[in-house]
Amino acid sequence: MATTSLNEEEVFDGYDITELRALKRKAELGYSSMELFEPPAGAKWGMYNDRKVEDKAVKKLVEAYKGLVDNCTEGTAIDVAVRRGWLEEAASFHSTVEGMRIGEVNELKFSAAGEAVMKQEHLVMLGGNHRREAVMVYVGEKKKKREEIAKKLEVGGGKGKKSGRGGAKEGGRTQEDVDEEMKRMVRKLDADIAKASRWVVRVYDRGKWHIRGTSRADNT
């Protein structure tokens, strides 16, 4: 570990914080989006950000997501460290995502070779421990609800076919009316699930780096 004569509050793990911030900025590639409900194989939380996940905080986020899934701002972006060689050649990043919707943000995509290596070396997630857990709960609930409606729709659709056009009345509505409403609910849930499953990430290059006074380097 490097040593320093700086005050304790100016160092992190023995390194000058100001210099670390400059290196971090230099390593930043930009913004992209990533699946959080079903993240890429090799994505790993807690390697460096080992903050304990608090159930209370997760529940609070889940409740907040019912009003707004704030997954497309620079302030809520999750930091992630990659190797350039893992990415598809055509990979591109945004300098900002403010004013964009999550579906408009370029997805973080990896080459087949990159995915194979990444499973061993890990896609390092530097934050978002609670957000990821909350997304798992929130999207999981949406998927469960969708499955329940789809099953009812399957049964209801069968009733409609048996009873002929118009179908049986249910509360003044035909079975076809009920089926159409359930189809709209399924489409809405599909859209909600797609939106909430992805999150904006701030991407950093795990390429060559060097801190003055050390010999640490990572060239692959």
State pLDDT tens for residues 63-121.
999 999 999 999 999 999 999 899 998 899 999 999 999 999 999 999 999 999 998 88
Torsion angle of C-alpha atoms 190, 146, 140, 44, degrees rounded to 10: -40
User: Does the residue 86 lie in any domain?
Assistant: yes
Same domain, 146 and 47: no
pLDDT of residue 15: 80
pLDDT of residue 110: 94
Task: Please give the residue range of the domain that contains residue 177.
Answer: 137-194
- CB–CB of 61/130 below 8 Å? yes
pLDDT of residue 24: 85
Same domain, 69 and 160: no
Same domain, 76 and 48: yes
Which residues in the chain come in under a pLDDT of 50?
1-4, 162-165, 208-220
Angle at 33 between CA 46 and CA 55, to 5 degrees: 40
Same domain, 62 and 154: no
User: Does the residue 119 lie in any domain?
Assistant: yes
d(CA 97, CA 90): 19
Same domain, 22 and 125: yes
- pTM score, whole prediction: 0.78
H or E stretch covering 204: strand 198-205
